[in-house]
């Protein structure tokens, strides 16, 4: 369904795949601040995969939370609650949200090894189980999301295809609980070092296109290069270079969806020497060319 042009531009689609799974996906930008309110009749869980933009969630009288871009967030929704979703004006948001029944989430939990079941159940018991520890979207996740958003099929065939992609996303999400290494406790033992890694993270918010050399960052925060590399990866689950690449690719998506710049201009904006370098990097990261990504946009 396309948005009313008075409100913004873009589309969203809701697909009830079976009694336990509903997918909600969209790619949109609003001309005004949008605040959507809904009353919850049944307890369930929501896995939000946000490619670009950020969604502010308010559980009336309970808690507020901002689901960040480029990450997977988990929301435990209780019956009888009123939920408000806030979308800021002019922000382009691209996402897939999976609504899972309580019984289905329990079935997923039982697929894990015993030690991982306990870890997942602890997350499920919380309102926002991944808050502060959201899982980064992988290239695989982004590829599946792109395919869900741009399937050319219709009717039952489309529903079957989306369900297949959703199951792959869920399988990949569960694998995070069995394959991801635990953080190195020797690096995270003190608040002092944790704060230093946060300083690096903050620095890269504005210097991700051309980040300072590791040697220079080490000098700035007072840690040797080995501790910096290991500590950053242990804290954020990725290397500094991977983090910078992710931010560049997220920014590329935003610029492509906004349609204010051509691909050559986007390449320049993101610091690539040639547009072919940008095109190759984008294709390697998302599995699709920038022009095809933009062409698939229905806005």
For the chain, the straight-line distance linking the first and the last C-alpha, in angstroms and rounded, comes to 11
Burial classification of residue 197, based on how many CB atoms lie within 10 Å of its CB (0-12 exposed, 13-18 middle, 19 or more buried): buried
Buried b (16+ CB within 10 A) or exposed e, 22-51: bbbbbbbbbeeebeeeeeeeeebbbbbbbb
Predicted TM-score of the model (pTM): 0.62
pLDDT for the residue numbered 297: 55
Is 20:31 a contact under the CB 8 Å cutoff? no
pLDDT for the residue numbered 182: 44
pLDDT for the residue numbered 290: 92
Q: How confident is the model at residue 17 (pLDDT cuts 50, 70, 90)?
A: very high
* H or E segment to which residue 96 belongs: strand 92-101
pLDDT of 194 above 50: yes
Q: What phi-psi label fits residue 132: left (phi over 0), alpha (psi between -120 and 50 degrees) or beta?
A: left
Distance CA 5, CA 31 (A): 9
pLDDT of 3 above 70: no
Distance CA 267, CA 290 (A): 10
**Mean of the per-residue pLDDT values of the chain:** 82
Question: What would the pLDDT profile of 73-132 be if each residue is shown by its tens digit?
Answer: 888 888 888 888 887 777 778 899 999 999 999 999 888 888 788 888 887 887 776 665
Is 107:71 a contact under the CB 8 Å cutoff? no
Concatenated DSSP letters of 41-67: -S-EEEEEEEEES-EEEEETTTEEEEE
Six-digit token string for 84: 């408000």
| Averaged pLDDT, 129-146 | 78
> How many other C-beta atoms lie within 10 A of the C-beta of residue 159?
17
Is 179:173 a contact under the CB 8 Å cutoff? no
pLDDT of 233 above 90: no
pLDDT for the residue numbered 137: 86
Q: What is the DSSP letter of 188?
A: S
Q: What percent of the chain has pLDDT over 90?
A: 27
């Amino acid at each position: 369904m396309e948005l009313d042009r008075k409100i913004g531009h873009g589309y969203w689609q809701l697909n009830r795949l079976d009694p336990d799974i509903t997918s909600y996906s969209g790619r949109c930008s609003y001309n005004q601040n949008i605040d959507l309110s809904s009353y919850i009749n049944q307890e369930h869980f929501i896995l939000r995969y946000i490619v670009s933009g950020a969604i502010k969630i308010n559980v009336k009288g309970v808690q507020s939370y901002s689901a960040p871009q480029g990450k997977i967030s988990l929301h435990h929704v209780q019956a009888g609650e009123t939920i408000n979703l806030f979308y800021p004006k002019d922000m382009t948001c691209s996402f897939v949200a999976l609504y899972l029944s309580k019984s289905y989430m329990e079935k997923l939990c039982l697929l894990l090894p015993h030690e991982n079941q306990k870890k997942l159940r602890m997350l499920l018991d919380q309102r926002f189980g991944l808050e502060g520890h959201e899982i980064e979207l992988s290239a695989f996740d982004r590829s599946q999301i792109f395919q869900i958003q741009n399937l050319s099929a219709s009717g039952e065939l489309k529903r079957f295809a989306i369900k297949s992609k959703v199951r792959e996303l869920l399988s990949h999400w569960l694998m995070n609980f069995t394959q991801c290494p635990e953080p190195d406790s020797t690096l995270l033992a003190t608040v002092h070092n944790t704060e230093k890694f946060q300083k690096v993270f903050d620095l890269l918010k504005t210097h991700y296109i051309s980040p300072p050399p590791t040697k220079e960052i080490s000098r700035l925060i007072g840690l040797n290069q080995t501790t910096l590399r290991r500590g950053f990866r242990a804290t954020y689950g990725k290397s500094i270079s991977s983090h910078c690449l992710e931010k560049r690719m997220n920014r590329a998506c935003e610029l492509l969806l906004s349609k204010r710049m051509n691909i050559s201009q986007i390449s320049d904006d993101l610091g690539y020497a040639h547009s072919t370098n940008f095109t190759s990097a984008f294709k390697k990261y998302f599995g699709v060319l920038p022009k095809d990504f933009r062409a698939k946009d229905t806005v």
